[in-house]
Amino acid sequence: SFNVGIVGATGAVGKEIVGVLEKRSFPVGALRIFGSERSAGKEVDTKFGRVTVELFSESSARECDVVFLAVDGDFSLKHAEAICEGNDGAVVIDNSSAFRYKEGIPLVVPEINSDATKGKKLIANPNCTTAIGLMAIWPLHKLFGLKKMVMSTYQAASGAGQPGMDELMEGTRSVLSGEREVAENKIFAHPLPFNVIPHIDKFQENGYTKEEMKVTWETRKICGLPDDFPVSCTAVRIPTSRAHSESIVAIFDKPVDVALARKALEEAPGVKLVDDIANLKYPMPLTATGQYDVEVGRLRKNIAFDNALEFFVVGDQLLRGAALNAVVVAEKMVE
Ligand code: HSE
């Protein structure tokens, strides 16, 4: 069994990592939770026993075999490499974007490129939107050869962590109770209740946001595609709680066959085909929330481009998009 450490276990992603470890069969020996001075000393009840949050230090984190970092990028940049250095260092799986674009650091969706972890101790966990979309894109890429991709997203408040979910809930309540006409906002750029916001993370020089460019950069790195491979995304925040939705147009090298595509998606690990329009069955946050599998549906031949498919994907941002991906990476590494 392995000693597992989590830094940031009380945040939205950290809590889900504990939950996924409890439900899956990763051989946890002891679970240690590290936090700041504010949370040190608090107690967390887990399937592995009651855990007292320890004040984080690099030396105590190094005593673990596997460490999950569910903290911000600045913390990861400062400590991640030191935690895994040398023979006695731990394997570190970092959920921030700090190392995702660095050469030599694998960015891993285990169903696609778990081999990239071989011989490595620091692994980057991908952006949630990218991880969710690639579950559907990868089996289709293997069949028809992806040539270009355009994605539009509908992202839940959970992407901004627990404070984002709280702001959505409290804001919605304040409007419905008549206390306010428009909800207050601190986390999102504008009030999210009864609104959609076409802006997630910082704007870049090319007019795209960082969230949109993450889909471009990370799709290329994870799928082993060239540095100029055409992927374009518009990322939009909507007032749902915790599953991200994506409308995807994928253009392929080869002619597409919808029946073959359906079969490949049915057989793909981590995918649940939900595509029965006669019975009004298609992917939705309502049904995908809390699930490990990404729902894929509304699959059809795109009528605007040759050799193109259009489909809708919904995945739980905190599970498949973060915690589950990280734990499955760890499982593959200790196999
Ligand atoms: N950046 C994502 C979002 C979450 O805001 O929805 C995690 O990658």
Q: From the CB of 96, is ligand 1 less than 6 Å away? A: no
Nearest CA to ligand 1 atom 4: 159
- In the predicted model, is pLDDT for residue 10 greater than 90? no
Q: Pull the structure tokens for residue 71.
A: 């903290």
- In the predicted model, is pLDDT for residue 33 greater than 90? yes
Among candidate residues 104, 143, 144, the one with its CA nearest the CA of residue 124: 104
CA of 318 to the centre of ligand 1 (A): 9
Percentage, residues of the chain above pLDDT 90? 97
Q: Is 233 a catalytic residue?
A: no
Could you report the per-residue pLDDT of 165-211, keeping only the tens digit for each? 999 999 999 999 999 999 999 999 999 999 999 999 999 999 999 99
CA 54 to each of CA 9, 28, 29: distance values in angstroms, whole numbers, following the listed order: 11, 18, 17
CA of 273 to the centre of ligand 1 (A): 24
Q: Which residues have C-beta within 8 Å of that of residue 296, sequence separation ≥ 6?
A: 135, 136, 265, 271, 272, 273, 274, 275, 283, 311, 312, 313
Interval 42-71 mean pLDDT: 96
Nearest ligand 1 atom to alpha carbon 128: 8
Could you report the per-residue pLDDT of 216-237, keeping only the tens digit for each? 999 999 999 999 999 999 999 9
CA distance 59 to 72: 20
93 and 67 Cβ atoms separated by less than 8 Å? yes
Place of tokens 């986390």: 187
Average pLDDT taken over every residue of the chain: 97
59 and 53 Cβ atoms separated by less than 8 Å? no
CA of 245 to the centre of ligand 1 (A): 12
pLDDT of residue 308: 98
pLDDT of residue 4: 97
Exposure of 22 in the CB half-sphere (CA atoms within 13 A) = 12
CA distance 61 to 69: 10
Q: Is 190 a catalytic residue?
A: no
CA of 234 to the centre of ligand 1 (A): 13
State the pTM of this model. 0.96
CA distance 286 to 167: 19
Q: From the CB of 159, is ligand 1 less than 6 Å away? A: yes
CA distance 219 to 250: 13
Q: Which residue has the higher pLDDT, 86 or 146?
A: 146
Q: From the CB of 218, is ligand 1 less than 6 Å away? A: no
pLDDT of residue 145: 98
Q: From the CB of 211, is ligand 1 less than 6 Å away? A: yes
- In the predicted model, is pLDDT for residue 93 greater than 90? yes
Q: How does strand 91-94 pair with strand 122-124? A: parallel
Nearest CA to ligand 1 atom 5: 159
